[in-house]
């Protein structure tokens, strides 16, 4: 296993390694709360890379199989509060499956998922947004015949008032309007407030999906390829947006992204997956310059510089 680390990060990387060991029942070294305090009952509680802060979101020994295929293989991630962590890797590396097990769309075959220090492995997907875990809404989750404002407002109302009801679309008066408008402005769609969602550009639909995720008031935001299919200009604007919302809202962001420039420019740390397993975690410059990572995942980026 290749682990990427600079000197300042050595302790954090070790903490992840210790979490992995504990999760699979081999030697526990140092750094996990369970190892030192025995507080976790069913799984080892992940510590942050910057111990002693707890992880905002984490996994311990997470594994997901599809028949013979191990899509996610014993992945232990600990993402501290406020960090922007990118997950990269070649096609089929297991990125989407990892995300889907964190959001609860898929159950893990083994291992655990943690949010703000609590294990949520068995919490239903629909409950997770109420605990502060959100992922960007996808195109097929938008109300495409409704306006941008209605799309965001419905999520604001659902967050504030409980389960979605069709009559929320009728006339909710001012309820949620102010908050929805603020979020729409934040993602740069103020000019599209009254546009019907289906008429938005692809990039603007992705921004709308982010606004809808923000409407659930998350602490942790998962973004699955937010710039896919975008022009270079739209990609740059989306990268700026992600950085802005992370910084101004103090969010923890877990990001799958194929655009290497985006990943290198906005991530605090990068985790590299290959064939389901973590092969490296570290700051962008460390991951970028690691020859093994570069050869395997970044396609000769050095030559292009």
- Rule CB under 6 A: which residues touch ligand ATP? 66, 69, 71, 89, 91-97
The answer to whether 273 touches 68, Cβ cutoff 8 Å, is: no
Question: Closer to ligand ATP at the Cβ: 40 or 86?
Answer: 86
Least Cβ distance, residue 107 to ligand ATP (angstroms): 12
Shorter beta-carbon distance to ligand ATP: residue 96 or 158: 96
Report DSSP state, residue 125.
G
Token pair, residue 258, equals: 């194929």
- In the complex, least distance from residue 150 CB atom to ligand ATP, rounded to whole angstroms: 31
* 50 C-beta neighbours (distance < 10 Å), count: 16
- Least distance in Å: CB of 15 to ligand ATP? 25
Q: How far apart are CA 266 and CA 84, in angstroms?
A: 7
Strand partners, 72: 64
CA dist 282 and 12 (Å) reads 9
CB of 124 to ligand ATP, least distance (A): 19
Nearby residues of 113 by Cβ (< 8 Å), 6 or more positions away: 58, 59, 62, 101, 102, 104, 119, 120, 121
What's the DSSP call for residue 25?
Answer: T
CB of 161 to ligand ATP, least distance (A): 34
């Amino acid at each position: 296993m290749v682990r990427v680390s600079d000197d300042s990060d050595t302790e954090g990387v070790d903490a992840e390694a210790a979490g992995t060991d504990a999760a699979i029942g081999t030697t526990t070294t140092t750094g996990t709360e369970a190892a030192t305090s025995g507080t976790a009952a069913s799984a080892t509680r992940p510590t942050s890379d910057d111990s002693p802060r707890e992880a905002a979101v984490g996994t311990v020994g997470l594994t997901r199989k599809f028949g013979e295929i191990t899509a996610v293989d014993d992945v232990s991630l600990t993402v501290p509060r406020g960090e922007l962590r990118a997950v990269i890797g070649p096609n089929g590396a297991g990125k989407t499956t990892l995300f889907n097990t964190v959001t609860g769309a898929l159950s893990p075959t083994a291992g655990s998922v943690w949010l703000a220090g609590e294990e949520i492995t068995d919490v239903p997907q629909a409950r997770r947004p109420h605990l502060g875990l959100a992922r960007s809404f996808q195109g097929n989750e938008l109300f495409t015949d409704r306006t941008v404002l209605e799309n965001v407002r419905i999520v604001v109302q659902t967050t504030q008032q409980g389960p979605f009801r069709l009559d929320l679309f009728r006339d909710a008066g001012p309820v949620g309007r102010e908050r929805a408008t603020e979020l729409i402005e934040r993602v740069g769609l103020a000019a599209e407030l009254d546009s019907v969602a289906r008429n938005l550009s692809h990039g603007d639909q992705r921004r709308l999906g982010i606004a809808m995720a923000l409407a659930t008031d998350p602490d942790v935001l998962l973004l699955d390829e937010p710039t896919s299919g975008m022009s270079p200009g739209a990609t740059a604007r989306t990268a700026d947006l992600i950085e802005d919302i992370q910084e101004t809202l103090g969010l923890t962001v877990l990001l799958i992204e194929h655009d290497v420039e985006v990943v290198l420019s906005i991530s605090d740390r990068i985790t590299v997956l290959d064939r389901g397993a973590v092969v490296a975690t570290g700051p962008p410059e460390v991951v970028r310059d690691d020859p093994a990572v570069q050869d395997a995942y970044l396609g000769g980026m050095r030559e292009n510089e």
